[in-house]
Structure 1
Amino acid sequence: MQIYREKAALQGAISGLKQEKKSIGFVPTMGALHIGHLSLVKQAASLCDVVVVSIFINPTQFDNPNDLRDYPRTLENDVSLLEELNLNILVFAPNAQELYGEKIEAEHFLFDGLEHEMEGKFRAGHFNGVGTVVKKLFEIVKPDKAFFGEKDYQQLQIIKKLTQKHSLPIEIIGCPIDREVNGLARSSRNERLSSEVREEASFIYNTLLQVQVKFGTESAKSINVWVKDQFEGHPVLKLEYFEIANIDTLKTIETKEENAHYRAFIAAFAGEVRLIDNIALNY
């Protein structure tokens, strides 16, 4: 497994692989790798000859400086986990100057309104930062396929829109949410939770499971009220938002429409740690 710090060296290696007609899969990460990330890498390896894994904590997508400061930095452990997979992997671990140059700032993107829903209402500029770094990484790696987890479903839809609007010849593949034994969606942020709070946080997924059942017979409005009531008395979790949205537009629904598909989305705080999750409501 090769580790690259400079984009020119990585591009040279990828160019050689493409001359050998090797297909390139790409898994962008911010490090602090866990089983969920590794499942993306395995999926990429099953569909591509070589997998590039980027490890870069992107400063332009953090609206909260404390969140950026506290984000886990575990490069040595990340590399060890990837080595244990025994797959054909290239690791790209640049610093901010290598990726951005001297001016570390986000571009402005229009994603046809996707950026204004849910996360966009609470994290100012977040998707400009995501779009900026992913576009830069796509231009460096030039993968055939890129793999993203459905835990960040809004991000997944925005990346698909990014490739469409910028005519990038990359297939974007969404991968199922990987969960801990208690149902909590795997996230690097989970490492900041105590064992007790981590167990309590399973409440998020259990709530989504009940929403999935209720969606068959109840209105979106009544479900919204029910979810807010459930979180109201919770001793650990504070609800930031709950929304039922169309999977294509990500717009919150008032009433269900025939032949439309929906997901339920939750963001909640456990102390200072922000957790998100979602579930498909119909298929």
Structure 2
Amino acid sequence: MKTVNSITELRSVLKSFRDKGLTIGFVPTMGNLHQGHLSLIDAAKHHADVIVASIFVNPMQFGVNEDIDNYPRTLEQDQTKLIAANVDVLFTPTPEIVYPKGLDKQTFVEVPGLSGSYCGESRKGHFRGVTTIVCKLFNLVQPDIACFGLKDFQQVQMIQTMVEDLSMPIQIVPVATKREVSGLAMSSRNSYLTATEKQQATHLYQTLQWVKHRLSESQDFEHIEMIARSKIDASGMRTDYIDICNAKTLEPATVEDKELVVLAAAHCGKARLIDNIQIELN
């Protein structure tokens, strides 16, 4: 695996692959890699000849009082995992390379509508930072395909919308959420959790499963959401939101909708955890 941190070197390395007619798959990350990230690498291998990963803790997607300074940075361990996964190129730029003018003067990309709800409402400016960095990395890597985990269902929807709206010749491959044996969705932020909090955190997915079961019996969405919030809070976590949505538009679900997604976020100790479950009604 070749690790590069300059834009010039990245483009030079990738040109050599393109000149051979090889297709490029891309997996952008913020590092502190776990099995969920590695499942994205595995998925990319099914679609492309050359695999590129990036590690960049993106300051634009962190808000005031969020955890960027404490966000786990484990580059050496991450490189070892990526080498074992047969990644071809790792791009590790600094903020100065990505945002040479500084954040205040950086052109940004924003997806209207989707970016202001759910996590966008709780974390103002977060999705602007996500779509801007993904757009910039897409311009740098110019991949044929890019893989994103469905743990952040809203993020995947936004990136797909951005690619479509901006006519980017990139196939977005959504990849199923990887979970611990307990059901807890794998996340870099799980490292913030104590043993007790890890046990509490399992109630987030358990509640999503309960919602799925209840929706097979009733479509009283508001009542189900209210009980779901109380279940999460009773576990010791603090609910940010839990909403039953149309899986394609992310608008609040109606009784006519058959493809649903339940989006949830909750605070557990120092961590803010997100999860979701997709549901098809008969």
TM-score by length of 1: 0.95
Tell me the secondary structure at the aligned position of residue 169 of structure 1.
Answer: coil
Kept in 1: contact 2:200–2:268 (CA 8 A): no
Give the counterpart letter for 2:260 in structure 1: Y
Q: Deviations over 1:107-152 (max 9, x none)?
A: 4444241112211111101111011100110000000000000001
Are residue 274 (structure 1) and residue 272 (structure 2) matched?
A: yes
Are residue 264 (structure 1) and residue 265 (structure 2) matched?
A: no
CA gap 1:79/1:88 in 2 versus in 1, 3 angstroms = closer
The 1-side partners of 2:87 and 2:186 are apart by 24
Give the counterpart letter for 2:129 in structure 1: G
Are residue 132 (structure 1) and residue 132 (structure 2) matched?
A: yes
Kept in 1: contact 2:204–2:232 (CA 8 A): no
Q: Which residue of 2 aligns with 1:36?
A: 36
Kept in 2: contact 1:107–1:129 (CA 8 A): no
Structural mapping, 1:131-210, within 5 Å: 131-210=131-210
CA gap 1:25/1:156 in 2 versus in 1, 3 angstroms = same
Ranges of 4+ aligned residues in structure 1 off by more than 3 Å: 105-110
The 2-side partners of 1:178 and 1:266 are apart by 16
Kept in 2: contact 1:2–1:91 (CA 8 A): yes
The 1-side partners of 2:97 and 2:109 are apart by 22
Structural mapping, 1:88-127, within 5 Å: 88-105=87-104, 107-127=107-127
Give the counterpart letter for 2:4 in structure 1: Y
Aligned length: 279
Give the counterpart letter for 1:229 in structure 2: S
The 2-side partners of 1:90 and 1:232 are apart by 43
Give the counterpart letter for 1:102 in structure 2: K
Structure 2: which 5+ residue stretches go unaligned? none
Kept in 2: contact 1:61–1:130 (CA 8 A): yes
The 2-side partners of 1:64 and 1:40 are apart by 30
Give the counterpart letter for 2:61 in structure 1: Q
Tell me the secondary structure at the aligned position of residue 257 of structure 1.
Answer: coil
The 1-side partners of 2:15 and 2:95 are apart by 23
Q: Deviations over 1:34-91 (max 9, x none)?
A: 0000010011012211111000000000014441111101111100111122x24210
Kept in 2: contact 1:117–1:251 (CA 8 A): no
Q: Which residue of 1 aligns with 2:233?
A: 232
CA gap 1:109/1:83 in 2 versus in 1, 3 angstroms = closer
Kept in 1: contact 2:41–2:87 (CA 8 A): no
Q: Which residue of 1 aligns with 2:222?
A: 221
Give the counterpart letter for 1:270 in structure 2: C
Identity %: 37
The 2-side partners of 1:84 and 1:160 are apart by 29
The 2-side partners of 1:225 and 1:65 are apart by 29
Give the counterpart letter for 1:94 in structure 2: P
The 2-side partners of 1:99 and 1:144 are apart by 21
Kept in 2: contact 1:97–1:104 (CA 8 A): no
Structure 1: which 5+ residue stretches go unaligned? none
Kept in 1: contact 2:28–2:53 (CA 8 A): yes
Give the counterpart letter for 2:209 in structure 1: L
Kept in 1: contact 2:193–2:270 (CA 8 A): no
Tell me how far 1:8 sits from its aligned partner: 1.0
Q: Which residue of 1 aligns with 2:211?
A: 211
Q: Which residue of 1 aligns with 2:26?
A: 26
Q: Which residue of 1 aligns with 2:47?
A: 47
Kept in 2: contact 1:211–1:223 (CA 8 A): yes
The 2-side partners of 1:4 and 1:79 are apart by 12
